[in-house]
């Protein structure tokens, strides 16, 4: 049998070697930053090296795991690669259980290739090391759960290693822990976190052609993917958000106010209903919220009815058009929208007008941005959208929206966006109002406040503006 030299066959670049050395000193190492820096390659080889290291130190047959967010990603990024990269003398891959087991002379350890579509299935598993590729595709809870799975008899220092590009729903918490080093007060392992910054230029194995592609990206993406800059995606999508202006003490509608309800339905994810009215100045006030998981269409409609006082006249409901396409569980022929409408009518003995929401995302966010921008209304600086304190989930999730890394015009839909989606349907059901708000006074005020410029009606905020906005 050919003698294997693990250091030689892993063939680490200088940066990868640096990351490797730090793994032995720190428990939580993140290799993050630019695209194609060699992060995924390093992750799988680092697991091999850890297994060999533990074997040399007398620990036989430990199991380590390499996780991706889902199985197709795991296959594309790793399983398809190891067939060519890992020599047969090193070990054997079993396609049934997705384990690569090292030959006995390398300690017989196992690399388990696993996905994180439901982390709780690893409830009773234990691993000597855990590697997560594209860590920011996961939320903080997944990381905290995986930490609890790090233990192996005979191994004093289990390891968590991860690789990632900036961006994604987990960008914020990952940046906070590994780059900004901001921890919860009860965090006992702060000194165990280490970050290694990857640059595309670290990797001699990528072609000039690929580098030119990265260099040709729009500025936001170029900074994130070529230079590994974390800040570009950190900012809020709605920088216009100012809690002191947008959140108000409850101001309930009066009889003459036009009222309507907007809905984003989910079962496993939360369903959200928001109640709106339009005040004398054309401002939209969101005054009530229902936000809950696990409700059927019927239960959701029942709850909306229960929360709407008997004398409150609602003009219409506007909802995600998807619920016209889905069927309820027991009502074979009825769509989700039909079920909700019929349930409400049954309880209230009143017809409900249900409107299919306009679900074009980017135009919807643009309208929302216009409503959020401060402008002069009746001699006072005010946004066109006010949210009552009685809507905590909308208030919590709207300012937390971040940019989508794949489409810088859009919100990252991996974030918690159910209440903002409902808000978007609500505002889009009356978008004509936003055309009227592009006043010169409003523009001046916004400039003074550092808000993005608006060059016309709601169409005036161009993609270029948005790119610049993302860099602020």
Ligand X SMILES: Nc1ncnc2c1ncn2[C@@H]1O[C@H](COP(=O)(O)OP(=O)(O)OP(=O)(O)O)[C@@H](O)[C@H]1O
Q: Give me the residues that bind ligand X (CB under 6 A), please.
A: 11-13, 16, 35-41, 163, 165, 198, 203, 205-206
Give the integer Cα–Cα distance in Å for 143 and 249. 37
Part of the chain binding Mg ion (CB under 5 A), chosen from 35-43, 66-74, 153-161, 255-263: 35-43
- Which residues are CB-contacts of 142 (< 8 A; sequence separation ≥ 6)? 116, 119
- Which residues are CB-contacts of 347 (< 8 A; sequence separation ≥ 6)? 301, 302, 305
Tokens of 410: 């859009």
Nearest distance, CB of residue 186 and ligand X, angstroms: 33
Part of the chain binding Mg ion (CB under 5 A), chosen from 39-47, 62-70, 267-275, 399-407: 39-47
Which residue has 């309507």 as its token pair?
260
Using the minimum distance from each CB to Mg ion, give the nearer residue, 134 or 414: 134
Using the minimum distance from each CB to Mg ion, give the nearer residue, 60 or 406: 406
Chain centre distance of CA 453: 27
Using the minimum distance from each CB to ligand X, give the nearer residue, 198 or 394: 198
Using the minimum distance from each CB to ligand X, give the nearer residue, 16 or 308: 16
**Contacting Mg ion (CB under 5 A), which of 40, 171, 271, 335?**
40
Tokens of 11: 């063939």
x/- site string to Mg ion, residues 249 to 288, per CB under 5 A?
A: ----------------------------------------
Residue 411 interface partner, choices Mg ion, ligand X, none, CB cut-off 5-8 Å depending on type = none
- Taken as a whole, the chain contains a residue count of 472
Give the integer Cα–Cα distance in Å for 446 and 218. 26
Residue 129 interface partner, choices ligand X, Mg ion, none, CB cut-off 5-8 Å depending on type = none
Using the minimum distance from each CB to ligand X, give the nearer residue, 113 or 238: 113
Nearest distance, CB of residue 41 and ligand X, angstroms: 3
Residue 122 interface partner, choices ligand X, Mg ion, none, CB cut-off 5-8 Å depending on type = none
Which residue has 């889905």 as its token pair?
326
Give the CA count within 13 Å in the CB-facing half-sphere of 360: 8
Q: How far is CA 241 from CA 74, 374, 399, in A?
A: 38, 9, 6
Using the minimum distance from each CB to Mg ion, give the nearer residue, 39 or 137: 39
Give the integer Cα–Cα distance in Å for 284 and 301. 23
Nearest distance, CB of residue 143 and ligand X, angstroms: 19
Using the minimum distance from each CB to ligand X, give the nearer residue, 183 or 205: 205
Residue 170 interface partner, choices Mg ion, ligand X, none, CB cut-off 5-8 Å depending on type = none
Residue 206 interface partner, choices ligand X, Mg ion, none, CB cut-off 5-8 Å depending on type = ligand X
Give the integer Cα–Cα distance in Å for 95 and 70. 16
Give the integer Cα–Cα distance in Å for 388 and 246. 8
Q: How far is CA 232 from CA 42, 180, 219, in A?
A: 25, 15, 10
Nearest distance, CB of residue 210 and ligand X, angstroms: 9
Nearest distance, CB of residue 127 and ligand X, angstroms: 21
Nearest distance, CB of residue 406 and Mg ion, angstroms: 15
Residue 446 interface partner, choices ligand X, Mg ion, none, CB cut-off 5-8 Å depending on type = none
Cβ atoms 131, 47 nearer than 8 A: yes
Residue 174 interface partner, choices ligand X, Mg ion, none, CB cut-off 5-8 Å depending on type = none
- Which residues are CB-contacts of 320 (< 8 A; sequence separation ≥ 6)? 263, 264, 265, 357, 359, 421, 425
Using the minimum distance from each CB to ligand X, give the nearer residue, 72 or 456: 72
Nearest distance, CB of residue 204 and ligand X, angstroms: 8
- Which residues are CB-contacts of 389 (< 8 A; sequence separation ≥ 6)? 247, 248, 249, 250, 395
Nearest distance, CB of residue 180 and ligand X, angstroms: 21
Using the minimum distance from each CB to ligand X, give the nearer residue, 52 or 427: 52
Beta strands in 281-400 (DSSP E): 284-292, 316-319, 354-356, 375-377, 380-382, 385-388
Nearest distance, CB of residue 163 and Mg ion, angstroms: 6
Residue 23 interface partner, choices ligand X, Mg ion, none, CB cut-off 5-8 Å depending on type = none
Nearest distance, CB of residue 452 and ligand X, angstroms: 30
Listing from the earlier edge strand, what are the strands of the sheet with 354-356?
A: 247-248, 385-388, 284-292, 271-278, 258-264, 316-319, 354-356
C-alpha torsion 451→456→462→464, nearest 10? -60
> Which residue's beta carbon is nearest to the bound Mg ion?
40
Residue 305 interface partner, choices ligand X, Mg ion, none, CB cut-off 5-8 Å depending on type = none
Using the minimum distance from each CB to ligand X, give the nearer residue, 224 or 341: 224
Part of the chain binding Mg ion (CB under 5 A), chosen from 8-16, 36-44, 208-216, 233-241: 36-44
Part of the chain binding Mg ion (CB under 5 A), chosen from 38-46, 187-195, 307-315, 399-407: 38-46
Q: How far is CA 123 from CA 61, 62, 148, 151, 213, in A?
A: 21, 18, 9, 13, 42
Using the minimum distance from each CB to ligand X, give the nearer residue, 129 or 200: 200
SS3 189: coil
Tokens of 310: 């008997």
Interface residues toward Mg ion, by CB under 5 A: 39-40
């Amino acid at each position: 049998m050919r003698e294997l030299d693990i250091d030689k066959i892993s063939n680490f670049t200088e940066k990868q070697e640096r990351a490797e050395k730090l793994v032995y000193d720190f428990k939580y190492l993140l290799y993050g930053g630019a695209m194609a820096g060699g992060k995924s390659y390093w992750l799988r080889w680092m697991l091999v090296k850890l297994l060999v290291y533990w074997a040399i130190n007398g620990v036989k047959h430990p199991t380590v795991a390499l996780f991706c967010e889902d199985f197709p990603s795991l296959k594309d990024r790793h399983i398809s690669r190891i067939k060519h990269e890992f020599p047969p003398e090193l070990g054997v891959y079993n396609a049934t259980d997705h384990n690569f087991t090292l030959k006995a002379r390398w300690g017989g350890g196992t690399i388990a290739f696993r996905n994180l579509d439901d982390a709780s299935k690893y409830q009773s598993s234990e691993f000597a090391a855990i590697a997560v590729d594209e860590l920011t595709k996961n939320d903080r809870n997944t990381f905290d759960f995986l930490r609890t799975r790090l233990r192996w008899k005979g191994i004093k220092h289990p390891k968590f290693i991860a690789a990632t590009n900036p961006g994604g729903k987990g960008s914020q918490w990952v940046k906070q822990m590994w780059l900004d080093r901001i921890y919860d007060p009860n965090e006992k392992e702060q000194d165990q976190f280490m970050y290694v910054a990857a640059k595309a230029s670290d990797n001699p194995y990528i072609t000039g052609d690929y580098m030119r592609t990265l260099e040709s990206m729009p500025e936001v993406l170029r900074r994130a993917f070529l230079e590994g800059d974390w800040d570009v995606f950190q900012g809020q999508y709605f920088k216009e958000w100012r809690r002191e202006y947008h959140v108000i003490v409850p101001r309930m509608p009066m009889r003459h106010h036009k009222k309507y309800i907007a809905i984003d339905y989910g079962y496993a994810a939360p369903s959200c209903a928001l109640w709106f009215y339009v005040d004398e100045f054309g401002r939209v006030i969101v005054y009530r919220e229902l936000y809950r998981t696990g409700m059927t269409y019927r239960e959701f409609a029942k709850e909306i009815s229960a929360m709407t006082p008997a004398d409150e006249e609602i003009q219409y409901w506007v909802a995600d058009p998807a619920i016209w396409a889905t069927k309820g569980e027991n009502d074979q022929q009825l769509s989700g929208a039909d079920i909700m409408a019929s349930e409400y009518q049954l309880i209230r003995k009143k017809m409900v007008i249900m409107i299919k929401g306009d679900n074009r995302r980017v135009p919807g966010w643009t309208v929302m941005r216009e409503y959020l921008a401060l402008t002069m209304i009746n001699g006072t600086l005010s946004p066109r959208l006010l949210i009552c304190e009685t809507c905590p989930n909308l208030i919590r999730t709207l300012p937390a929206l971040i940019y989508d890394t794949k489409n810088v015009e859009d919100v990252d839909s991996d974030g918690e966006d159910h209440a903002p989606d409902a808000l978007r349907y609500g505002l889009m059901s009356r978008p004509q109002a936003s055309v009227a708000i592009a006043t010169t006074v409003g523009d001046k005020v916004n400039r003074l406040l550092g808000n993005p410029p608006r060059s016309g009606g709601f169409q005036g905020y161009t993609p270029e503006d948005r790119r610049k906005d993302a860099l602020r």
